[in-house]
Structure 1
Amino acid sequence: MEEQKEKQEKVLVLPWMRSPVDVSLFEECPLSLVPCLDPRLKVALQNMGFASLFPVQVAVWQETIGPGSFERDLCVNSPTGSGKTLAYALPIVQALSTRAVKCLRALVVLPTRDLALQVKEIFSVIAPAVGLSVGLAVGQSSIADEISELVKRPKLEAGICYDPEDFSLGLPSSVDILVATPGRLMDHINSTKGFTLEHLCYLVVDETDRLLREAYQSWLPTVLHLTRFNDEGFFPRAHTFLPSSLGSLKTIRRSGVERGFKGKPYPRLVKIVLSATLTQDPSKLSQLALHHPLFLTTGKRRYQLPEKLESYKLMCETKLKPLYLVALLQKLGGEKCIVFTSSVESTHRLCTLLNFFDDLPFIIKEYSGLQRQSVRSKTLKGFREGQIQVLVSSDAMTRGMDVEGVKYVINYDMPVYIKTYIHRAGRTARAGQAGRCFTLLSKDEAKHFKKLLQKADNNSCPGYAVPSSSIESMHSIYTSALEKLKETVEMEAYQKRKMGFKSSRVGKRSGTHPSKE
């Protein structure tokens, strides 16, 4: 199915995707040589530990603050860990800082709460440096608290009666930039008095392929509709404040698309869409209503793995797979590691099983969609801070999550698609660092896995062995752990049935039986 889809996309590839800007032609640029970079932003970046911009950041800077001047929408396909978040955050903050007006002018949409929190942190470091404020709108948090942070409410004087309708329109925004998940964004659009997108200048769709694959309450057509009539050209674009000379930043001129906007008002919403595995499906990309889009990608290959990633395969007996995993983790010496499984159920059972192995010299925790958000956030915080060494995760963590110091990724369950492999492996070898990805395979899976990696032009995946003595020495422990796992699973199933029975009884008493809601 996936191969047929890829062949179809190759045949139907859009004309503007056939002549992309090759990001690999760019080199890192020291902050001191980045043209037009606001000195305040330079200081903020240095405080974050940056001494230069990565190639993808340089390329996007050229097409936004540089000669491109936000004249075209950008589609960025760049490997995980290459710096895509700062690539769009930096030029948007710089552009917005040139006009002191407080209203919502930039919207960044991401598929998950954890990703949104991560991106908001980056904006929150650089935006205040130039007097801009950043808001967050995500699910599983208090919408009332969000409303108070996003929209300024008027101060009411005692003794005066007010009509609520007086405040339903024209309430000023408290933020210049909003980072949001689609569902919560729609909540504010539909319910929050005074929340408006009428002044929106920039829309970023991060992890584009996932956001286009899932409808999320039709958030995209809603946003585009609400911004379609913003045609006054009120907010200036980058060319209005750029000097004629752009220093050392090289310019790559492309033929085939006329710019045609110099000296004219800008009645459009600028869009930047990004992914490590950007779709080429015309029907999906057409939903974005892109304006003379420019395609930025790394090299000629569609699927890119991090430059300093090493891939290994570990052949194992299916029945003893957990033992091979434990032996591998022991050999890796307790360095920060993420273990990926194929489902949330597998994640929970594997993590439970591993914790029944006595005296393992590292802390193992679960991270999956089965957990409450507060639990996931606490686990992720512990993993970031090094209190947890091994994270067993479903694919909830494959997209965009950036955890510093992850040395290893282990595919306990082989990914079915190359996109999944790329996003999993991309949790390591980030920002130019080295990393390793191990995949546990049975004999039956080896052939398919080889074909999978070939889609990313990766023909080098050597085998990796663990001592057979380690496997043999753990047989008795493994048998005991399996028995404990069986008891735990049965107990959890019983608790679920019990909770379901209680919910049913409450529903009957209140007249709202679950099956009739």
Structure 2
Amino acid sequence: MTFADLGLSDELLRAIGESGYTEPTPIQAGAIPPVLMNRDLIGIAQTGTGKTASFVLPMIDVLAHGRARAMMPRSLILEPTRELAAQVAENFEKYGKYHKLSMALLIGGTSMGDQQKALAKGVDVLIATPGRLMDLFGRGKILLSGCSILVIDEADRMLDMGFIPDIEEICSKLPATRQTLLFSATMPAPIKKLADKFLSNPKQVEVSRPATTNTLIEQRLVETSSRGKREALRAILAAEDVRTAIIFSNRKTTVRELSDSLRRDGMAAGQIHGDMEQAERIKELDRFKAGEINILVASDVAARGLDIKGVSHVVNYDVPWHADDYVHRIGRTGRAGASGKAFTLVTPDDGEAIEAIEKLQGTKIERVGGGKPAEARATAPVAAPVEAEEPRGDRKRGRGRREKPKSEAPREVQAPREEIVEAVPEQPAAEAPPGREPREARPPRQAREPRPERARRDEPGRDEPRREEHRREQPRRDHRADRDDGPDVGWNGPVPSFLEVSFGLAPEA
């Protein structure tokens, strides 16, 4: 089958031929005819299958007849990220160069004044991210009542980014008789609900099982350690067949650090992440496409939808947190029928994430090396205490804390509970320290004088003889007896001397 068999115009076929394409991909062959027939469409296809051209090409022919009006775009394409929106705009410029269609790009990070001027003139195609579109709509700078075609691209990504409520609001402001095209790599329940609500009798085209990876991509897991990641990455990039590579990391700080490290090693590396301004990100992508740099370090902001020809390798420096992101990351290579290689650096902590990825794909990914890599063996002393630990049950009985000598000392000298009780012998109630009258001979409590506690304590040397005598005669009490967990039965021994002093009793002459 050729593009001419799909019913496209001669001008469009000429532009396609000049771009180097002769045969449509499966998603293009299945989606273009229904779109030309003004039918609603659900397209389910993995990344890298030519999904963008499957709606751009028929839209150019459909919009070729008609005229744009001020502030009222004739068609609307919603994209989750700025990069995807810019890529769709490039497709319209490339394939629509023999058609007189106007286009506007409505994304964040660019001048809103220029975007408003373009809308005021009237556009045939408006490519927008939901956030910027809702902003201008709230300002009254755009009207959606004249939009006849709506495209919701990367619907599953929209769901991940929380754009579904915005899309529902946008759909409610469009004419009910519009044509709606929805494209997604997967079809989770919320996307199915969205399609049932806003699409009318859609034609569904599915060219592959959801979330499967391209069979032309050779996948490998490189087992390493956290400390050995950079050396493993350098070994991969040093291979002779690496022409261009995209390296993905989960964190923006890692992207910056890794890009700087590769440049210090003499490699032509660039970076793209969410903290960069839109103009800077586009500039880095243009440098990568032009061959000024052959290594691009990126966060997941660049994982989906970027169509860059000739990427020979993708390296996951970090295992992605979500299995779906793995599919889209490695989809940057092996595009348009070409082969590619994808390497993922795996540490012992990534086992659960790798299981999720393999479960999603339905296949096992080959491990490189087949065992613990050299980098991990080099750091073995760090992990040695974990491997040498005793079973968990032994640690509960105290055997796992032998490395703490301070905690053992009290257990060696501590006497059994019975000995602790005997350490403080019980004395008869009638006995008293030398020089003291028996307890029964003391005057009744009510006859005692008021307790002049502070005044008597202030007298210098008042209690020193008695306290010194008490320390010499009274045996030292073992305070460990307080640890006894038995019942509290009260005090049956002699009254301590400091309590007697507090009652104001004078020593016997």
TM-score by length of 2: 0.68
Which residue does 2:65 correspond to in 1?
A: 98
Structure 2: distance between partners of 1:437 and 1:454: 18
Cα–Cα, structure 1 residues 433 and 77, in superposed 2: closer, same or farther, change >3 Å?
same
Structure 2: distance between partners of 1:421 and 1:452: 7
Cα–Cα, structure 1 residues 376 and 349, in superposed 2: closer, same or farther, change >3 Å?
same
Larger RCO (CA within 8 A; separation ≥ 6): 1
Which residue does 2:217 correspond to in 1?
A: 309
What letter corresponds to residue 74 of structure 1 in structure 2? L
Larger Rg: 2
Cα–Cα, structure 1 residues 416 and 268, in superposed 2: closer, same or farther, change >3 Å?
same
Aligned-pair CA distance for 1:85: 0.5
Q: SS at the partner of 1:438?
A: strand
Aligned-pair CA distance for 1:355: 3.5
What are the superposed Cα offsets for residues 114-141 of structure 1, whole Å, 9 maximum, x if unpaired? 2111100111223342322211111111
Q: SS at the partner of 1:50?
A: coil
What letter corresponds to residue 149 of structure 2 in structure 1? Y
Q: Structure 2: 5+ residue runs without aligned partners?
A: 380-509
Matches within 5 A, 1:107-256: 107-152=76-121, 173=122, 175-193=123-141, 195-216=142-163, 218-227=165-174, 230=175
Cα–Cα, structure 1 residues 37 and 282, in superposed 2: closer, same or farther, change >3 Å?
closer
What are the superposed Cα offsets for residues 131-174 of structure 1, whole Å, 9 maximum, x if unpaired? 2221111111111111111213xxxxxxxxxxxxxxxxxxxx2x
Structure 2: distance between partners of 1:209 and 1:285: 11
Q: SS at the partner of 1:204?
A: strand
Aligned-pair CA distance for 1:450: 4.1
1:410 pairs with 285, 290, 315, which one? Answer: 315
Q: Structure 1: 5+ residue runs without aligned partners?
A: 1-28, 153-172, 231-266, 476-517
Q: SS at the partner of 1:223?
A: helix
Structure 2: distance between partners of 1:372 and 1:98: 37
Question: Is 1:330 the equivalent of 2:330?
Answer: no
What are the superposed Cα offsets for residues 267-298 of structure 1, whole Å, 9 maximum, x if unpaired? 52211111223434367526852222333222
Matches within 5 A, 1:31-70: 31-34=3-6, 36-65=7-36, 69-70=37-38
Which residue does 2:52 correspond to in 1?
A: 85
Aligned-pair CA distance for 1:416: 2.8
What letter corresponds to residue 183 of structure 2 in structure 1? L
CA contact (8 A) 2:43 2:204 kept: yes
What are the superposed Cα offsets for residues 197-230 of structure 1, whole Å, 9 maximum, x if unpaired? 1111111111111223434595323322222xx3
What letter corresponds to residue 88 of structure 1 in structure 2? F
Which residue does 1:453 correspond to in 2?
A: 358
Cα–Cα, structure 1 residues 347 and 101, in superposed 2: closer, same or farther, change >3 Å?
closer
> How many percent of aligned residue pairs carry the same amino acid?
29
What letter corresponds to residue 319 of structure 1 in structure 2? R
What letter corresponds to residue 354 of structure 1 in structure 2? L
CA contact (8 A) 2:46 2:210 kept: no
Aligned-pair CA distance for 1:444: 4.3
Structure 2: distance between partners of 1:141 and 1:101: 23
Aligned-pair CA distance for 1:427: 0.6
Which residue does 2:199 correspond to in 1?
A: 290
Matches within 5 A, 1:245-284: 268-281=177-190
Structure 1: distance between partners of 2:33 and 2:15: 20
Aligned-pair CA distance for 1:463: 2.2
CA contact (8 A) 1:313 1:464 kept: no
What are the superposed Cα offsets for residues 461-484 of structure 1, whole Å, 9 maximum, x if unpaired? 342699x89x79x99xxxxxxxxx
Cα–Cα, structure 1 residues 213 and 417, in superposed 2: closer, same or farther, change >3 Å?
closer
Structure 1: distance between partners of 2:191 and 2:356: 26
CA contact (8 A) 2:319 2:353 kept: no
CA contact (8 A) 2:330 2:342 kept: yes
Aligned-pair CA distance for 1:76: 1.3
After TM superposition, which residue ranges in structure 1, 4 or more long, deviate above 4 angstroms? 100-103, 215-218
Q: SS at the partner of 1:89?
A: helix
Q: SS at the partner of 2:228?
A: helix
What letter corresponds to residue 111 of structure 1 in structure 2? P
CA contact (8 A) 1:136 1:146 kept: yes
Structure 2: distance between partners of 1:346 and 1:79: 28
Aligned-pair CA distance for 1:393: 1.0
Structure 1: distance between partners of 2:64 and 2:261: 52
What are the superposed Cα offsets for residues 428-469 of structure 1, whole Å, 9 maximum, x if unpaired? 011111011101112343464144223212235342699x89
Structure 1: distance between partners of 2:160 and 2:128: 17
Structure 2: distance between partners of 1:283 and 1:354: 44
Q: SS at the partner of 1:104?
A: coil
Aligned-pair CA distance for 1:406: 0.6
Structure 2: distance between partners of 1:124 and 1:141: 19
Q: SS at the partner of 2:274?
A: coil
TM-score by length of 1: 0.67
What letter corresponds to residue 276 of structure 1 in structure 2? A
Aligned-pair CA distance for 1:100: 4.8
What are the superposed Cα offsets for residues 98-127 of structure 1, whole Å, 9 maximum, x if unpaired? 345655221001111121111001112233
CA contact (8 A) 2:109 2:277 kept: no
CA contact (8 A) 1:277 1:419 kept: no
Q: Number of residue pairs matched?
A: 376
CA contact (8 A) 1:276 1:304 kept: no
CA contact (8 A) 2:106 2:132 kept: yes
Which residue does 1:236 correspond to in 2?
A: none
Which residue does 1:427 correspond to in 2?
A: 332
What are the superposed Cα offsets for residues 41-74 of structure 1, whole Å, 9 maximum, x if unpaired? 1111112222121110010012222xxx233x22
Structure 2: distance between partners of 1:448 and 1:423: 15
